[in-house]
Amino acid sequence: MAASRNGMKAAVLLACLLTIPDLAGAQLLTVKADPLPPSANDGAAPNAASASRSSIINSAISVENASPKLSAGCRSISTVVNSSTDYIPLTRHCKFEAFRRQTYSPFTFISVAWEATWGQAWDQWPQYGQGMQGWSKRFGASLADTESRRFIQGFLLSSLFHQDPRYFPSEQKNVFARLAYAASRVVITRTDAGGSVGNTSELLGTLLTSSLQNAYYPRPDRGFDNTLNRFTGALTSDAISDIVHEFSPDMRRMFHRHAPKKVLEIEDRLPIPPEDKP
């Protein structure tokens, strides 16, 4: 049941990526270079499904346009880089800027509201109850999940281990090779020097945030088994997110080749940078 629910949510996200290029382009913390914040048994640990939804949805949260106020040093570093462009690593300051801007991005609160609404609809965390009070508790827990993982994994650990938190699409043309590459990004990432290394920030960050959730989740959702369930579920979800990142440009191009003329006219009126259009 959890797998089917996560599949439904992944399909919803992919539909958004196909119809809103700005969301999938400039607003993803994704680098388009050619060279990288859980599904589980519902009965065992429903909070693992929440970690899965959060990980997938947060992959599409705005970064590029979250705030016009960037430091001069980070303004010049684009999150979308052509294959012919030399690799530019993120400084520690720019990693923090990315975290800070996402913190108050409207897309953050939209995705967390979706998390809370979905959780309430499926009666996740039943101890929170229903109604506005139950929804508010779910909103707070989901927001804590999102922000803690962004800070710990996206800034703190990536800075400590000198790793780049962005996703770098594959150079391969073969579909299966690209699929394997994307799924492997949860264990392999890029260093700030441009090389490949074990994704310590992902693995350790996911473990730390999964453990931190024991501090504010309902008591039945705490403990070692639930923590391990959330950890493995989040990694699985991140692999799915990376696969979406890898293939969403292809899917968008395919969609736009067959999109109704009216849809294309509406898209032309949207404030989408030319380089982010399919």
pLDDT in the model for residue 89: 85
Task: Spell 12-48 as b/e; 16+ CB within 10 A means b.
Answer: ebbeebbbbbbbbbbbbbbbbbeebbbbbeeeebbbb
pLDDT in the model for residue 48: 53
Angle between helices 2-19 and 224-257 (to 10 degrees): 40
Residues of the chain falling short of pLDDT 50: 1-8, 11-45, 55-72, 76-84, 275
Q: Terminus-to-terminus CA distance in the chain, angstroms?
A: 35
pLDDT in the model for residue 229: 96
With H, G, I as helix, E, B as strand and everything else as coil, classify residue 53. Answer: helix
Written as six digits, the tokens of 32 are: 């388009």
Pure H helices in the chain: 2-19, 21-24, 46-58, 72-75, 92-103, 106-121, 131-149, 158-160, 175-184, 200-212, 224-257, 261-269
pLDDT in the model for residue 277: 56
Residue among 269, 226, 278, 204 at smallest CA distance from 248: 278
| Average pLDDT value for the chain | 76
Cα 19 versus chain centre, distance: 18
pLDDT in the model for residue 73: 59
| Chain segment 219-235, per-residue pLDDT in tens | 999 999 999 999 999 99
| Chain segment 161-208, per-residue pLDDT in tens | 999 988 888 888 999 999 999 999 999 999 999 899 999 999 999 999
Spatial contact of 199 and 239, defined as CB atoms under 8 Å apart: no
107, HSE (Cβ side, Cα atoms, 13 Å): 21
Spatial contact of 40 and 232, defined as CB atoms under 8 Å apart: yes
The residue assigned the tokens 């995705």 is 111
